[in-house]
Amino acid sequence: MMETILQEGLSALSLPTQGIPALIRYAELLAEKNQVMNLTAITDPAEVARLHFLDSAALLTLADFQGKRVVDVGTGAGFPGLPLKILEPSLHLTLLDAQRKRVDFLQEVCESLGLENVTCVHGRAEEFAQEHRESFDLAVSRAVAALPVLAELCLPLVKPGGQFLSMKSVDCGEELNAAGRAVHLLGGRMEKPQDYVISGTNIRHRLVIMTKISETPKKYPRTFAKIKKNPL
Ligand code: SAH
């Protein structure tokens, strides 16, 4: 079932399918661990295939990930970062999350799948940025915060010339408008968002794309309390 959905979905995206056994193993580990801790509300295998794996995979058709240093901010149970790594093994991935249990789970998955060049970090993006400023070619994120907040968490991590790719729903127009000022202050430029349909579904999502055009001023990111209280 899951195999067929992935086979068809990845082929429709013209993506390689050799990662499918690893994705299926990942789904098994996710289902098993989800019994004892809250990792995802999506449990039906067909939905895991579409709403987690194929949604994440869509990014590979919208940006060049080959050999890139990528950070997934607020990765949770590994989305979108881990499917990206499984389907594009050349990338160097950092999975970052503020919840230790989730990071422990990700570490287990990486070991079980024998993934190389993946670093699982327990931490908050705004603190991680103090030591890892402008260290990544790409930052990615799904379902973590509203864009003005998210831009301050993610853009400082991206090298000038790199991009921040934020997975949103198609009704994010208001957030998008509100984020313009933040993106500018953080050294970024808002690109034209790219809508995509999750392979094998009618679900349309939006990839918000910001290019880092100059270094982020040292005063950003601020503490989370300040970011939240007074978004840029
Ligand atoms: N990206 C995943 C998880 C979304 S849930 C998915 O789409 O399925 C949001 C996650 O972001 C949670 O796991 C939470 O711990 C993490 N998070 C929220 N704020 C964060 C921050 N400032 N730094 C790092 N992780 C954060």
Q: What is the pLDDT of residues 18-45, one digit of tens each?
A: 999 999 999 999 999 999 999 999 999 9
Q: What is the pLDDT of residue 32?
A: 97
pLDDT at residue 127 in the model: 97
Q: pLDDT tens digit string along 70-90?
A: 999 999 999 999 999 999 999
Instruction: Give the pLDDT band (50/70/90) at residue 49.
Output: very high
Binning pLDDT at 50, 70 and 90, where does residue 159 land?
Answer: very high
Quick one: what percent of the chain has pLDDT higher than 90?
Answer: 98
| CA of 78, closest atom in ligand 1 | 2
pLDDT digits (tens, 9 = 90+) for 84-123: 999 999 999 999 999 999 999 999 999 999 999 999 999 9
**The dihedral sign for the CA sequence 37, 87, 50, 46:** negative
Torsion-angle region of 39 (φ positive above 0: left; ψ -120 to 50: alpha; else: beta): alpha
Please state the pTM of the whole predicted model: 0.98
Cβ of 148 less than 6 Å from ligand 1 = no
Residue identifier of the C-alpha nearest atom 9 of ligand 1: 144
- Residue 26: CB within 6 Å of ligand 1? no
The closest-lying atom of ligand 1 relative to the alpha carbon of residue 125 is 23
Where are the extended beta strands (E) located within 13-86? 69-73
